[in-house]
């Protein structure tokens, strides 16, 4: 009789070890930088008409860990950086990261780390945490010489770092779950608005930084042969399209000198809009997570 009770107890323990409590399940994702982007914009007027003015686009990297049953254990983190490099080139302290190959003459990094996560009535998530702006500048040596071969930067890097609280509204295209996250990508968006007076350095960094076009799925190949018109590697990819400012036409008479640039007045609300493709960072679920 005692042997039978012992076998029943052992069977019960083993069954409990491989039975997944639903509250232990967490969906973990990485941001696919090659299929994600961030749009940086500000409200304002163009030719005295209210309009959203796009400042540029950036690459995105980051992670999402979502526990819908205990949001206190959920975390959202992302970094925005110029498309001058395929991956993030500096850390939050402004120190260069190895292997990035980026020109750090001037560089801007915007980082966010959540501290509080709450759900909304429509199934989205309100994420609040610290927004860190890191800006790196170098002094340019403008002394010309016969051997001039481009801009030269001298002296130590000048690093500026500012931290402010920020909030983002995160929306998923499909409800994420630990069961369904494997072997598929999920689209998500995040929108945050920062008042200009709260973080004036952000607009200054946006205006002073070089934000080249973001090219997704970029592939480059060297030509098999070279000739006099050799122009380097041939690259293909999908360019993230951004709205451009209109131009003003001022007539067609004899004194017409062509189109003029639009009259632009910047406002006070900076918006960061992220389009993210999330891929599973949890290829196989453990027994604890529901296997």
pLDDT of 8 > 50? The answer is no
Centre a 10 Å sphere on the Cβ of residue 202 and count the other Cβ atoms it contains: 23
The pLDDT of residue 24? 47
pLDDT of 107 > 60? The answer is yes
pLDDT of 58 > 50? The answer is yes
Range 62-78 average pLDDT:
91
- The 10s digit of each residue's pLDDT in 115-152 is 999 999 998 999 999 999 998 887 665 555 565 555 55
Q: Under CATH, to which class is 22-221+233-280 assigned?
A: mainly beta
The pLDDT of residue 90? 83
Write down the domain spans for the chain: 22-221+233-280
More confident residue, 46 or 249: 46
pLDDT of 4 > 70? The answer is no
Reported confidence tier of residue 290, pLDDT bands at 50, 70, 90? very low
């Amino acid at each position: 009789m005692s042997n039978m009770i012992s076998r029943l107890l052992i069977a019960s323990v083993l069954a409990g070890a491989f039975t997944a409590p639903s509250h232990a399940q967490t969906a973990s994702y990485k941001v696919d930088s090659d299929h994600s982007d961030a749009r940086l914009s500000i409200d304002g007027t163009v030719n005295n008409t209210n309009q959203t003015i796009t400042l540029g686009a950036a690459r995105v990297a980051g992670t999402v860990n979502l526990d819908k049953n205990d949001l206190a254990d959920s975390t959202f983190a992302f970094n925005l950086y110029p498309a001058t490099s395929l991956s993030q080139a500096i850390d939050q302290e402004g120190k260069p990261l190895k292997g990035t190959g980026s020109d750090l003459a001037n560089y801007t990094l915007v980082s966010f780390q959540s501290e509080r996560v709450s759900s909304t009535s429509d199934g989205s998530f309100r994420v609040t945490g610290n927004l860190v702006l890191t800006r790196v500048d170098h002094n340019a040596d403008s002394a010309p010489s016969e051997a001039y071969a481009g801009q030269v930067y001298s002296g130590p890097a000048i690093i500026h770092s500012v931290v402010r609280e920020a909030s983002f509204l995160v929306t998923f295209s499909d409800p994420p779950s630990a069961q369904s996250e494997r072997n598929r990508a999920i689209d998500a968006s995040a929108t945050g608005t920062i008042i200009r007076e709260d973080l004036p350095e952000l607009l200054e960094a946006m205006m002073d930084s070089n934000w080249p076009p973001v090219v997704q799925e970029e592939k480059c190949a060297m030509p098999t042969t070279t000739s006099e018109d050799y122009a380097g590697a041939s690259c293909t990819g999908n360019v993230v399209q951004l709205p451009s400012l209109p131009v003003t036409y001022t007539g067609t008479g004899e004194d017409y000198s062509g189109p003029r640039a639009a009259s632009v007045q910047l406002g006070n609300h900076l918006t960061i809009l992220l389009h993210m493709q999330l891929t599973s960072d949890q290829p196989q679920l453990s027994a604890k997570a529901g296997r």
